[in-house]
Amino acid sequence: MTAYERLREACGVIRDLEHTAALLDWDQQTFMPVNAEPDRVAQLTTLAGVIHEKQTDPGFARLLEQAEAECRDCAPDSVQACLIRRLRRDIEKQSKVPVDLVKQLAEAAAQAHSAWAGAREKAQFSLFAPHLERLLDLRRQYAVLFAPYESIYDPLLDNFEEGFTAKQLDILFADLRRNLVPLLRRIIDSQPPAECPKAVYGEKEQLAFINEVLHAVGYDFTRGRQDQSAHPFTNEFGLNDVRITTRIFPEMPLSALLSSIHECGHALYAMGVSRELDRTPLADGASFGFHESQSRLWENLVGRSRAFWEYCFPVFRRYFPEQLKNASAEQIWRAVNHVEATLIRTESDEVTYNLHIMLRYEMEKELLNGTLAVKDAPAAWNAKSMELLGVEPANDAEGILQDIHWSMGEFGYFPTYAIGNLLAAQTWCAAEKQVPDLEAEIAKGNFRPLLDFLRRKVHVLGARFTPAETLRRSLDAEEIKPDCFIRLLEKKYSRICGF
Amino acid sequence: MTAYERLREACGVIRDLEHTAALLDWDQQTFMPVNAEPDRVAQLTTLAGVIHEKQTDPGFARLLEQAEAECRDCAPDSVQACLIRRLRRDIEKQSKVPVDLVKQLAEAAAQAHSAWAGAREKAQFSLFAPHLERLLDLRRQYAVLFAPYESIYDPLLDNFEEGFTAKQLDILFADLRRNLVPLLRRIIDSQPPAECPKAVYGEKEQLAFINEVLHAVGYDFTRGRQDQSAHPFTNEFGLNDVRITTRIFPEMPLSALLSSIHECGHALYAMGVSRELDRTPLADGASFGFHESQSRLWENLVGRSRAFWEYCFPVFRRYFPEQLKNASAEQIWRAVNHVEATLIRTESDEVTYNLHIMLRYEMEKELLNGTLAVKDAPAAWNAKSMELLGVEPANDAEGILQDIHWSMGEFGYFPTYAIGNLLAAQTWCAAEKQVPDLEAEIAKGNFRPLLDFLRRKVHVLGARFTPAETLRRSLDAEEIKPDCFIRLLEKKYSRICGF
């Protein structure tokens, strides 16, 4: 066996263990008995330890060196070269961070997490403040290890969007904001009311309805399944096992449907990665932003399109004939596109979502730079909320304490949601050009041409290349831009609002 | 930390990994998408490799030596001494077997398993014969490593019932057979017909009915759950997570009920082990026979008792009022105790079950001793079946090919089912003496006194002691005997058959 073959097998072992940990996590969120928590924590901790042992095994590093020597003449875009590049990058990043700092971060996050949950329950930021202070301090120590950089934000962002910088985000967000804030005002001033008929939509029927739609969209139930959980998520245990979950609200049938289509978008990506990359870290999305682009594309650009409801409304009415007897495709389409500036990110719509992200991005930068003190953060949050969205939280629970991410010590994650939105729009615009009769096929319930396009252009590449290189290869684009995103919104809302 | 503390933590890691593998297996049998098989095989193989690494780590053996030195003055029945004894035994057994033989056995079993499945489908023993030959040869090589012994069967049996020998089994089975064969004839000649009303019993209602019974029996749904699978089983992922499965036949409602009670018996045992033994190999049943004794006790001595149906029939009828409108507790009790000499072990009743086991035990001994050639095995099987049960298989699928065990290279497993039956009866006889109003409480649906007795006497001990020592401590008995078993059967069937 060559060093490369042995290296691949070593990667396979790590990947199998990661998939195993993912199954423990999936089970914990779906079927695990309530009192099994301590046993599950022990298993997850043990597995994390074993994965860490394997990743930091000196034999693994030696194998990588030997594989690099073997690969001097590899084609730079061969799987072999791409895998080696990726492993080298991971090892170099890892080697810069002292084990002690990793431990401190893990411990601080574990403590912060329960403090955050308690603080949110009491809507009292001061209970969480010292933990946030500590996490920011540790994350600054972490970032400094990657100097030089232009912004201290860059090394953190790089963990989610390799190679992307705060400078790029600043330009992108400034552009987006310039267009989005006035657009939001125009929409809110002119949109006619629209809602899904108020009624009870049975859980069983909702699940059957969603199931039919997922089948039509192309979710492969022989390689996945849908269950219920408190928060919808997608989890991958191999290219042949990508599961999604949903959450049913009897009075909001569109919530579960769109959330399922969102998770299905993630799952289609994971299922579509080339089998050449199986059991390697390349069998993944190109970045967090890329992954989010696939879920958002299906949720917003398909699931909230007029064409989709041409197909979907008759299906919807077949499951709920009583509830929908006076409704129409046009009405439901308008309902799922209703815009409202609200306080909570996870409930926000296509237009306001990115504004929520900008708020968090600005907060993170200022907190990390030290230009904003932790004690002043709630007031700053509220002011920014007013400025960007025109609404102000009545308390910290619906303001600065609403998201889990900071309590996990994760800074630099939020922007990937916005990147996902913009990338989704860019991908859609490319599909419009390259897929014949895109909307007409969707209106007929034929999603195959779109899925084939995504498979061929995006999914198959997995994490083989950097995000920038993936963008070039999949969409023939040099950078992420807000143009498509804004254009698609303007087109949709000029039709809805008549401007 | 003392060496013992570090040893316990090392055991904990292995145990966590074993529980993780068990969850992968559970998921495979319950919820896994059909095409995920290759991914799951990779994960299970990887995990088995990691577990093996940890078990054979020289550091682990050194830790054990140090812990032994520390424990020179330990009380011999302390958890510390018991755990050290167990680990020493496992390591000594393991050290006797060359890695190469382990691999050969695993490979031969993997090949034999699919050959067996194919042979059974075609009802053609000759397709399986060379594999059985090979497995017998490897198992002989394995057994020889443990010489000296009285029978080559002993080292194999020891893997399931530590310390138990073929000589003991011979005596036990001769005794049992002397009583059982004439009893079977008498029952068959005199039992009146009895059956559960023929009807369709809906799946949903069956599950709800079983759920209510399991709650009553004492299965803790906060530390377990019941799902459906092709073959019912119990799986344990920690003291706080013990799950069971069942299989519903719409025309045989008593099948799922009794099989669920059987699995529940296993689960109650696993849930009742002392928390002192958590995350060690002692957090297990004392032996395969002991585990089976708990499932059989609940299935046969509770679930097939007249007292149980006093409680259970009204519940049963509440779920199936139409189907059972003309039925009675007495009738259902008689139906679940109907005796018939059939060909298939897994479908056999309380009276004939042990005869199926004796048949297999005799076959195993003769095949291992070489007094029976593999090519002559089907004819020998059929002759023994006629002799013991009075029925003869029409083909190998319903004869020698019916069970999976030999295809896995497991010889010495079958007797533990019979040991379980006898131990269950012995345990019941002890409970009759020590639990006031045992049957009267069961008739009222109060299973708590029985469960408390089992918890206190058997469950809590786990695998802390050898099977023989467990028997002494839990039932104050010196050996496994067939007396209680026979006496209970005679009592029940004299009432049913009127002899």
Over the stretch A34-46, which tens digit does the pLDDT of each residue have? Answer: 999 999 999 999 9
pLDDT at B288 over 90: yes
Nearest to B16 among A32, A42, A227 (CB): A42
Identity at B416, one-letter amino acid code: T
Substitution target from A8, A11, A18, A35 for chain B, most B beta carbons within 10 A? A35
Give the DSSP letter string of B276-304: GGTTSTTSS-SSHHHHHHHHHIIIIIITT
pLDDT at B26 over 90: yes
Stretch among A82-86, A99-103, A203-207, B435-439 having the lowest mean pLDDT: A99-103
Q: Does A57 contact B at CB distance below 8 Å?
A: no
**What would the mean pLDDT of A424-428 be, rounded to a whole number?**
98
What are the backbone angles phi and psi of residue B63, rounded to the nearest 5°?
A: -60, -40
Look over chain B and give the mean of its residue pLDDT values, rounded to a whole number: 97
Show residues of chain A in contact with B222, CB under 8 Å.
Answer: 33-35
> What's the alpha-carbon Rg for chain B, to the nearest Å?
23
pLDDT at A389 over 90: yes
Nearest Cα neighbor of B130 from B106, B111, B143, B117 is: B111
For residues B236 and B263, is the Cβ–Cβ distance under 8 A? no
Q: Return the SS3 of B462.
A: coil
**What would the mean pLDDT of B151-162 be, rounded to a whole number?**
97
**What would the mean pLDDT of B88-105 be, rounded to a whole number?**
94
Q: Strands, E, within B219-274: which ranges? A: 226-228, 234-236, 242-246
**CA dist., res. B298 & res. B18, Å (int):** 27
Do B222 and A12 count as a contact with CB atoms less than 8 A apart?
Answer: no
For residue A399, what pLDDT is reported? 97
| Pairing status of strand A226-228 against strand A242-246 | parallel
Residue B372: strand pairing partners: none
**What would the mean pLDDT of B239-264 be, rounded to a whole number?**
97
Please tell me the distance in Å from B406's CA to the nearest CA on chain A. Answer: 30
The interface predicted TM-score (ipTM) is 0.93
Please tell me the distance in Å from A322's CA to the nearest CA on chain B. Answer: 26
Active-site positions of A read 263
Nearest to B222 among A23, A24, A35 (CB): A35
Residue A174: strand pairing partners: none
Do B221 and A19 count as a contact with CB atoms less than 8 A apart?
Answer: no
In the numeric block, the tokens 């946030």 are attached to A132
User: For chain A, what percent of residues have pLDDT higher than 70?
Assistant: 100
pLDDT at B245 over 90: yes
Sign of CA dihedral A193, A197, A200, A203: negative
Residue B226: strand pairing partners: B244
Tokens of B326: 């003309």
pLDDT bin (cut points 50, 70, 90) of residue B390 is: very high
First to last CA, chain A: 66
**CA dist., res. A126 & res. B292, Å (int):** 56
Q: Does A16 contact B at CB distance below 8 Å?
A: yes
Please tell me the distance in Å from A13's CA to the nearest CA on chain B. Answer: 6
pLDDT bin (cut points 50, 70, 90) of residue B101 is: very high
Q: Does B48 contact A at CB distance below 8 Å?
A: no
Give the DSSP letter string of A429-457: HHHHHHSTTHHHHHHTT--HHHHHHHHHH
Sequence-separated (6 or more) residues with CB below 8 Å from residue B78: none
* Torsion (CA) A317, A322, A325, A330 in degrees, nearest 10: -40
Q: What is the pTM of this model?
A: 0.94
Show residues of chain A in contact with B27, CB under 8 Å.
Answer: 23, 27
Substitution target from A43, A220, A242, A244 for chain B, most B beta carbons within 10 A? A43
Helix-helix angle A483-497:A415-434, to 10 degrees: 80
Tokens of A17: 């263990």
pLDDT at A259 over 90: yes
For residue B499, what pLDDT is reported? 87
Q: Does A34 contact B at CB distance below 8 Å?
A: yes
For residue A499, what pLDDT is reported? 87
Helix-, strand-, coil-residue percentages of chain B, each rounded to 5: 65, 0, 30
Show residues of chain A in contact with B37, CB under 8 Å.
Answer: 240
Q: Does A35 contact B at CB distance below 8 Å?
A: yes
Do A20 and B24 count as a contact with CB atoms less than 8 A apart?
Answer: yes
**What would the mean pLDDT of A179-188 be, rounded to a whole number?**
95
What DSSP element (H or E) covers A244? strand A242-246
**What would the mean pLDDT of B449-460 be, rounded to a whole number?**
98
Active-site positions of B read 263
CA distances from A492 to A180, A304, A443, A464 (A): 14, 10, 16, 35
**What would the mean pLDDT of B175-194 be, rounded to a whole number?**
95
Show residues of chain B in contact with A42, CB under 8 Å.
Answer: 12, 16, 238, 279
Helices and strands (H, E) in chain B, number of each type: 20, 3
Q: Does A48 contact B at CB distance below 8 Å?
A: no
Q: Does B27 contact A at CB distance below 8 Å?
A: yes
For residue A189, what pLDDT is reported? 94
Helices and strands (H, E) in chain A, number of each type: 20, 3
What are the backbone angles phi and psi of residue A302, rounded to the nearest 5°?
A: -95, -65
For residues A368 and A406, is the Cβ–Cβ distance under 8 A? no
Q: Does B32 contact A at CB distance below 8 Å?
A: yes
Size of interface A-B (CB pairs under 8 A): 122
Residue B242: strand pairing partners: B236
For residue A380, what pLDDT is reported? 98
For residues B188 and B341, is the Cβ–Cβ distance under 8 A? yes
| Chain length of chain B | 499
**CA dist., res. B197 & res. B321, Å (int):** 12
Per-residue pLDDT tens digits for A59-93: 999 999 999 999 999 999 999 999 999 999 999 99
**What would the mean pLDDT of A293-303 be, rounded to a whole number?**
98
For residues A422 and A482, is the Cβ–Cβ distance under 8 A? yes
Residue B227: strand pairing partners: B245
Residue of A nearest to B244 (CA): A33
For residue A275, what pLDDT is reported? 97
Please tell me the distance in Å from B220's CA to the nearest CA on chain A. Answer: 10
**What would the mean pLDDT of A19-33 be, rounded to a whole number?**
96
For residue A282, what pLDDT is reported? 98
Residue B235: strand pairing partners: B243
For residue A365, what pLDDT is reported? 98
